[in-house]
Amino acid sequence: MTIWNKEIETMPVAAMQELQLGRLQELVARVYRNVPFYQEKMDAVGVKPADIKSLADITKLPLMTKQDMRDNYPYGLLAVPLKQIARFHSSSGTTGRPTAVAYTKNDLDMWAESLARTLVAGGLESESVFQVAVNYGMFTGGLGMHYAAEKAGAAIVPASSGNPVRQAMLMQDFGVTAIVVTPSYALHLAEAMQAKGIDPRGLSLKSIFCGAEAWSDGMRLEIEKAFGVNTYDVYGLSEIIGPGVATDCRSQEGLHLHEDLFYPEIIDPETGETLPDGQVGELVITTLTKEGMPMLRYRTRDLTSIERKPCACGRTGITMKRVTGRSDDMLIIRGVNVFPSQIESVLLEMGATAPHYQLIIERKNNLDELTVLVEPTEEGYAELGEAGMRNLEKTIQNQLKAVLNIKANVRMVLPRTIERSEGKAKRVVDNRKLA
């Protein structure tokens, strides 16, 4: 079984759009009636629920941002009485006040449904042993994955994050066949296992599910090379539901977005203008069925594109490209737009470098200066020697200049010296005083 909900995941386009429109109209009427924030925002642009007569009319509705959520923290966006809320989660961001998310019992059921589709697309089945190696608690990853795997019928090893040696022991002892981790932690786990003399390719693993941070195709190849299994990109964000908004299938030709639950748009991040299918822009999502804290046209800040094309797996819905970066994580250095994913792609093409790096940005003599800390692989370090390391620095520096159109200082550091993360990797340290 590779499709969890065949009726929905292979639904004809016309039927899907009819379902979406009915849900959108009901949602808009409900939040206008029950959430003062939405009523005020809609009144300010002169739109009423009755004005939503087609899916195209969604562009009449105002866009929503993370700041709106912070301004209404924690209960200002509830669309149901507090007594109907079954659980709270919050964002895992490291800056500013977190964003709170509220779920009714039906929301939790819907979340488990969307994530069950995700996990089954990556090969999870009732015979699977599934290790949850992401945080439980306010972060949506642990509990979300736990209940979805339970719904799909797998046996669960609730390891949470941290302690790679213990993670490896659990994987060996329980014959774990699937695991969920952040991409950076997957590589950290492989390193820790190799240091203990454990071959990551000798486990019972069949699938690795990765999410919570953007990762390049190069990093995907590194993880798959280390473990010898397929990886599956799990896209989601706590403001919408948590992980499970979209996912890879075994074809790995785009992430299948669960569009009966989450209506996607792509906009120009600067103008807010809707972009055509296939064009890269910022993903905007409307939660079509969410009860506790619905989101209307929420700006995710994630950069991607969407399109509808046949997939070998049999799914008929919209697919989105893997997220390449975030419009608000874009670095402006000497007037040039720079995304960490561009730098990661260059590093992973080098062969002798490990997929661990850090960007240090400083302002010297009123000019921005970018320094890229790079680790060689242990094999590369042994082969290169000191002179080879310096030559590799120059090679990477020249390649980065060709890609970024700005100079970046490259400094090779010893293997395993860049701090590893148990959650989202801290790739950027911006020491400029920009205020």
Query: How do the pLDDT tens digits run along the chain, 435 residues long?
Result: 589 999 999 999 999 999 999 999 999 999 999 999 999 999 999 999 999 999 999 999 999 998 899 899 999 999 999 999 999 998 754 445 678 999 999 999 999 999 999 999 999 999 999 999 999 989 899 999 999 999 999 999 999 988 999 999 999 999 999 999 988 889 889 989 999 999 999 999 999 999 887 788 888 999 999 999 999 999 999 999 999 999 999 999 999 999 999 999 999 998 999 999 999 999 999 999 999 999 999 999 999 999 988 899 999 999 999 987 777 777 778 767 787 878 888 888 887 888 889 999 987 866 678 999 999 988 888 888 888 999 999 999 999 988 888 889 999 999 989 887 766 677 888 887 644
Are residues 317 and 354 located together in one domain of the fold? no
Please list, in sequence order, all residues whose beta carbon lies within 8 angstroms of the beta carbon of residue 23, skipping any fewer than 6 positions away: 260, 288, 289
Are residues 145 and 67 located together in one domain of the fold? yes
User: How many whole angstroms separate alpha carbon 110 and alpha carbon 285?
Assistant: 16
Are residues 322 and 418 located together in one domain of the fold? no
Q: pTM, whole model, 2 decimals?
A: 0.81
Are residues 310 and 360 located together in one domain of the fold? no
Burial class (CB in 10 A: 0-12, 13-18, 19+), 208: buried
- Among 328, 349, 377, the domain boundary falls at 328
Buried (b) or exposed (e) across 180-199, using 16+ Cβ within 10 A? Answer: bbbbbbbbbbbbbbeeeebe
249 φ/ψ sector (left φ>0, alpha ψ -120 to 50, else beta): beta
Rounded to 10 degrees, what is the CA torsion of 93, 94, 96, 98? 40
The CA-to-CA distance between both ends of the chain, in Å, stands at 54
Phi, psi of 132, rounded to the nearest 5 degrees: -95, 100
SS (H, E, C) 179-203: EEECHHHHHHHHHHHHHCCCCHHHC
Q: What is the CA radius of gyration of the chain?
A: 22
Buried (b) or exposed (e) across 403-430, using 16+ Cβ within 10 A? Answer: ebeeebebebbebeebeebbbbbebeee
Using the Cα atoms of residue 71, residue 331, residue 287 and residue 217 in order, give the sign of their dihedral. Answer: negative
Phi, psi of 420, rounded to the nearest 5 degrees: -90, 155
Q: What is the CATH number of the domain that holds 150?
A: 3.40.50.12780
Q: What is the CATH number of the domain that holds 336?
A: 3.30.300.30
Are residues 404 and 424 located together in one domain of the fold? yes
Q: At what angle do helices 13-34 and 36-44 cross, to 10 degrees?
A: 100
User: How many whole angstroms separate alpha carbon 380 and alpha carbon 298?
Assistant: 44
Burial class (CB in 10 A: 0-12, 13-18, 19+), 140: buried
| Number of domains present in the structure of the chain | 2
CA distances from 281 to 212, 253, 275, 277 (A): 20, 19, 7, 10
User: How many whole angstroms separate alpha carbon 412 and alpha carbon 408?
Assistant: 13
Structural domain contains residue 130: yes
Are residues 314 and 347 located together in one domain of the fold? no
Q: Name the token pair of 293.
A: 């804290």
Structural domain containing residue 55: 1-328
Q: Name the token pair of 172.
A: 């060996």
Are residues 59 and 164 located together in one domain of the fold? yes
Are residues 367 and 336 located together in one domain of the fold? yes
Are residues 274 and 298 located together in one domain of the fold? yes
Phi, psi of 92, rounded to the nearest 5 degrees: -100, 15
Determine the 3-state secondary structure of 122 from DSSP: coil
**Contact indicator for 345, 384 with CB cutoff of 8 Å:** no
Are residues 76 and 93 located together in one domain of the fold? yes
Are residues 242 and 361 located together in one domain of the fold? no
- Among 306, 328, 350, the domain boundary falls at 328
Structural domain contains residue 89: yes
SS3 content of the chain, % helix, strand, coil (to 5): 35, 25, 40
